[in-house]
Structures are given as structure tokens and as C-alpha cells.
Amino acid sequence: MSDAPLSIEKIVNGGYGLARRDNGQIVLLRHVLPGETVKARILLEKKGFAEAAATEILAASPHRVPPPCPKYGRCGGCDLQHCDYGQQLQIKKGIIADLLQRAPQSALQQAVPLLADPIASPQVFGYRQRLRLQIDEHRKPGFRRFHSHQCVPITECLLARAELNRALQQLQGQPLFHKLLAGTTELELLLNPSNASVVCLIHLSRKPRPADMKQAEALVATLPAIERIEFHGQDFLPCGPIIKGNEDRNKELQFLLPPFPGHTDKSISLAWEAGGFCQVNLAQNIQLIQTVLDFCKPDAETTVLDLFCGMGNFSIPLAMQSASLLGIEGQGSAIRCSRKNSDQAGLTNTLFEKSPIHTRCQTLAAAGRSFDCVVIDPPRQGAPGLAPHIATLTRKRLVYISCDPATLCRDLGELVQSGFAIKKLQPVDMFPQTHHIETVALLEKEIKY
């Protein structure tokens, strides 16, 4: 179909601009902004809507800026580099508000006025402490195109910390590295904030061979930016780490949290294992934790349940001010780290358990357990079906941290039906230049008279 002018009404979840054809059919486009008029080519007709690509900007938004990345539009990572940062924040707030307004529960529609402006990230580029790269058929690392398995090779990413880009460029200059990539599906680079060096995880499609280990040893010895190399894969346990000289083989990655105003008066050291989860934007993580602490309002009598507690990102700061904290997590490496982090902080009021979240919540509820404050930070898919158990376990306050507005709204709907009232909604921008947004929701048990 030939190009047709379209007016962009808003940006919806997924980062798509929404427009309507003359017949009222919805059209979704990427890399456009609200208020713009564009020419577009229809790419795909689906039931109820069409997908299109903008071919010409007829009337540009005043918020449109030249994207600084030369790969923008081909790489499938960023989708808001063409927008100034202040407007990015408003777009993200609008995405959450749109989902709330379209929710079937009136309580969610009525919560739109509670939605605060997003907390801006301290850095809008160069903030990521982790990169996960695909390896193409030419043994070059890069990112996949949008909705494609095709890889766009890169030598740097503007969202990555400078230390990661330096390590990537050093690796790509080594023939041994290209040999290692022969059996590699993915390459992961992790910044160790404690010493500004980089851990390299090589994901192999087969078990590592002696030649792989020798090549990795040579690379670590040669490249100053690389702290260690590990081999990971689906069909074998992690191999390594290959380290420099006499370094500690069991050393975790580590970062330092400052004191949190109104809550803690000393800094906190948190460690996690390579391959485990840690927030990618460490500077913004500080503001995320501050928000969670402000919503939880822990004191010396507060009992806390932290679900999907990970390595203790929220647990340790919360426990420093609470009577007791129970953290539950399904990943063994995260539980190992949360226990170590608790010991490192000198805490004696914590208990961390490895268990599937739904199963453990059922047993806790069946045992009559309840907590003053429940914190839940689920993965992108949210926590469907957990609301009735959370309602049983929560005495006063529930703080829900979400990285997906769609699953957040679904779960908020279930929680409202289970007896909670939404009190606050605070977006926190962890992912500048993309449509992704973190949201912290405060809910309280409704008092029935």
C-alpha cells in the first residue's frame, strides 16, 4: 500500500505511536512522537489494527532531536533516542496512565490522578552496568533488530558504561577472542563497580574445551580491562572463572549504596554473583530504593516480607530499620548473596529462603503468618494469581515494584479485588532512551467496618 499521511495521537505500551486511518482502523508505528504528522507505509495488516513504518515526517514534534547513535533504527534496543529526555519521561507516564484508564476495574481508572511524574535518571546515556550481546554468523557481537533474529554488529553502545565499551573494543581487537566466538551464542559483559573492571560471560552452545580455556586464560592475562572470564551454557554448569594471577576465584561483583535520608545512616555493601540479577542502572537504583523505603516506612516494630528478594537490593536497607525481615527467592545464587550481604551488614534480624514464590506464600498463609509490610519485585511477567495469598499475608502495607506497566495493571486489578486500595504510584526511569519504565506502587489493606 502506498504511503498515507497519519497523525500520531499518543505513544502506547511497547513504544508504538498510535494513529488512525480514515476508516478508524488503529495504526501502530515506531520512532514517532505525539502530535506529529507522518507519511507511513503499511507493513502488516492484523485483526483490528495495522503496523506501519514512517517514511517521512511531514510535521515534526518540537521534542524531536537527532538520535546520537549511528545504529539507531536498525538495532532493536533503543526506541526513544529521537525524543528529548524531558518528553521521554512524559511519554512513559502517559503509557502507564493509558493502561490504567483502559483497565476494567474502576479503582484503577480512579488511580490515574495518583500517578506521579517519573523520577529522572541521573544519567541518560552511559548508565548500563551490563550488556548482553548476540553473536552473528561472522562471529561479531551485536544486538538483534526489532522483532528479528538478525544481528546488528556493534563496537560500542551509548547506553553502556564506558568501562564496558572499553572492554568490548579490547576484546574485538584480539584474534583469540574471535576464535572463542566460534561456539558462542551470546556474550555478556558485567561491570564490577568495586574496581571498575569487567567480567566476561561467554555463553557456549557446547561444553568448553581445553583450547577454549587456554584462549580465555591468554585473554585475561593480556587485557587490563577484563577481570575474569566464565563459560555458561544450557547443558553444562558454569566453568571458570578464569582469573588474573592470584585473584580470589570466588569473588562476587560488588557495589556500595550510600546512606538513605530518613532511613539509614551508614553505607551498605551489596554483592552478587556473575550471571545473577542486579539492576542495570546503579545510580538510579539508589533513587528506586529510596522510594521503596519511603513507601514502606519501616520502624523498629515493623515485620517485612520481601518476595523475589534477589540478592537483597531492598531487603538489606529495609532490615536495617525493621524488627525482622523474611526474604524469599527462587534462585539459589541470589539467596547465597542475600545471606552474605546480610552478614556483611551485621544484621541478625533476617531470614532468607530459597523457594518458589507462589508455593511459599501458600504455606505461609496456611500457617497463619502475616507481616506489617510486604514488598514484591516480580520479573516482567508479574505475579498472576498471587493476590489472594498476598492479601492474607499483608497486615498493613504492600509495595509492588514493576518493570512492565501491562502486568502491573493486571496485578493491581487482582490486588484491588482482594481488598487492597491503591495509594501511590511512582514511576522511576531506570531505562532512558527506551520505552521501558519501572513503577513503584503503594497499596494498603482497606479497613472494613
Mean pLDDT across 49-65: 96
The gap between the terminal CA atoms of the chain, to the nearest Å, is 61
Q: Report the DSSP beta bridge partners of residue 50.
A: 27, 45
Q: How far apart are CA 243 and CA 253, in angstroms?
A: 14
Catalytic residues: 403
DSSP-derived secondary structure for 53-112: EEEEEEE--TTB---S-TTBTTBSS-S-TTB-HHHHHHHHHHHHHHHHHTSSSHHHHTTG
Most confident of 55-59, 145-149, 218-222, 272-276: 55-59
Mean pLDDT across 56-83: 96
Q: Is the model more confident about 237 or about 35?
A: 35
Name the least confident of 86-95, 190-199, 246-255, 407-416.
246-255
> Residue 296 CB: number of other CB atoms within 10 A?
26
- Nine-digit cell string for 27: 495504526
Name the pLDDT band for 449 (thresholds 50, 70, 90): very low
pTM over 0.85: yes
Mean pLDDT across 418-441: 98
Domains annotated for the chain, with CATH where assigned, are 1-64 (2.40.50.140), 130-192+195-243 (2.40.50.1070), 254-445 (3.40.50.150)
Q: Number of C-alpha atoms within 13 angstroms, CB side, residue 379?
A: 8
Q: How far apart are CA 362 and CA 359, in angstroms?
A: 5
Nearby residues of 149 by Cβ (< 8 Å), 6 or more positions away:
none
Name the pLDDT band for 1 (thresholds 50, 70, 90): very low
Q: Note the pLDDT tens digit of each residue in 308-352.
A: 999 999 999 999 999 999 999 999 999 999 999 999 999 999 999
Q: How far apart are CA 201 and CA 164, in angstroms?
A: 13
Q: What's the mean per-residue pLDDT of the chain?
A: 94
In the chain, what percentage of residues exceed pLDDT 90?
A: 84
pLDDT of residue 272 exceeding 70, the answer is: yes
Q: Note the pLDDT tens digit of each residue in 3-17.
A: 679 999 999 999 999
Which pLDDT belongs to residue 216? Answer: 92
Mean pLDDT across 374-378: 98
Which pLDDT belongs to residue 248? Answer: 66
What's the chain's length in residues? 449
In the chain, what percentage of residues exceed pLDDT 70?
A: 97
Mean pLDDT across 232-241: 87
Q: How far apart are CA 283 and CA 122, in angstroms?
A: 7
**Cβ contact 118:291 at 8 Å:** no
Q: How far apart are CA 241 and CA 200, in angstroms?
A: 9
